Structure formats: structure tokens, C-alpha cells
Amino acid sequence: MSYIPPSAPPPTQGRWLARFRLRHCKSVGRGCRVLGKIWVHGRGKIEVGENVLFDARLAPIELQAKTHATLRIGNNCVIEGGSSLEAVDSIAVGDGCHLGPFVKIMDNHHHNSTGNRKERPPSSPVSLGPNVKVGAHSILLPGAQLGEGALLEERTVVSRKIPAGAHIQGNPPRIVKKETTPPKPEEPST
């Protein structure tokens, strides 16, 4: 893990700027970097771990925690451009996760499919285990719980529990391989 795009500036640069851009977060760990635009809003708690890289040069990143919501991002994560995390209840992203571009994570459907569409349905928390890789344009719907080291391919839509180390593809999702090789714990390159 701890993928750093080759064109990214060295990790010693732009930390104060990142601190400024993440100023609406409740806590920000050491060594976070933000490339490009990031949109942090909502009145909930957003906690960002250490050495997180927000690579928003492709498109802006959205971090949203509504009132009384918690959005937690673990250490050594990489979040690429265009991805948006919307927490109404709670979202937890584990250590060393990699979210590809235009990933959407939400823990509430925001509208009822039947009955009154203006009402907000009950939300169910989303959690990503450590070392999860999520491909581009994937959508994690309420109730998605990814085990440790799970791997999602592009355009996967998940709304249920996924076992650890599984390789998932498609919409509706199906398991391609039950267990991928366990990712080796690497030293962060910062």
C-alpha cells in the first residue's frame, strides 16, 4: 500500500497548506497532504489519520459529515480525485486503504424508495477494513462492510458484508476470488 503517484510533490512540501485545507476536520494527523481542491463540510466530526494523501488534482474531493455524524479515515490512506464520502451516521475507513477516483461512499439513501420520498430513511454504518482497495467509480451503499484486504474492481456497487481478502467485481457484486494474497505490510514511504 501507501501508493504515491509519481508526479506528486515530495511529502515534505505543502503540509501547512494541507492543514489549512483540512481546517474543518476535528482532528488531522501528522503528514497529511492535499493536492488540489478539497471540500469539507457538514457539522459532524471528521477525523483524519496520519500520512493521508488526498490526490484531488483530477476532480475535487468531498468529505461530508452531517450533524452528529462521524467520518473516520485511518493512517496511510490514499484518496483519489472525485471521490466523495458522505456520512449521516458513521463511516470508518481503515488503515492503508486506497480509494480510487470517483468513488462514492454513503451511509444513507437520503430518500425512501416507497412512500414519502422527502423523508430520510434510517442509516446503516459503512466500514472499510484495513488495506482495502476500491476501484474507480465504485459505489459503497449503506450497510457495506468490507473485510481486511478486500479488493473491489471498477464500477462495483456494494451494499452488504464482504469477507476479508475477497476479490469483488460487478453490479450486483460477485466474488471473483475468495482470497487474494494477503497484502504485505509495508513501511510508509514518507
- Site of interaction with another protein (CB under 8 A): 37, 39, 59-62, 82, 84, 102, 104, 106, 109, 111, 113-114, 117, 137, 139, 141, 155, 157, 170-172
Cβ at position 176, least distance to another protein in Å: 16
Retrieve residue 101's grid coordinates.
477516483
Q: Which residue has the cell 475507513?
A: 93
Give the amino acid at 94.
G
Cβ at position 141, least distance to another protein in Å: 6
Cβ at position 143, least distance to another protein in Å: 8
Cβ at position 104, least distance to another protein in Å: 6
Enter the DSSP assignment of 190: -
Minimum CB distance to another protein smaller for 147 or for 170: 170
Residue 139 DSSP SS3? strand
Minimum CB distance to another protein smaller for 7 or for 114: 114
- Are 98 and 3 in contact, with CB atoms under 8 Å apart? yes
Q: What are phi and psi for residue 176, nearest 5 degrees?
A: -80, -50
Minimum CB distance to another protein smaller for 15 or for 37: 37
Minimum CB distance to another protein smaller for 26 or for 111: 111
Minimum CB distance to another protein smaller for 10 or for 172: 172
Give the number of other CB atoms < 10 A from CB of residue 5: 11
Q: Which residue has the cell 459529515?
A: 65
Enter the DSSP assignment of 43: S
Minimum CB distance to another protein smaller for 82 or for 165: 82
Cβ at position 17, least distance to another protein in Å: 19
**CA pair distance 1, 149, nearest whole angstrom:** 10
Cβ at position 171, least distance to another protein in Å: 4
Q: What is the CA radius of gyration of the chain?
A: 16
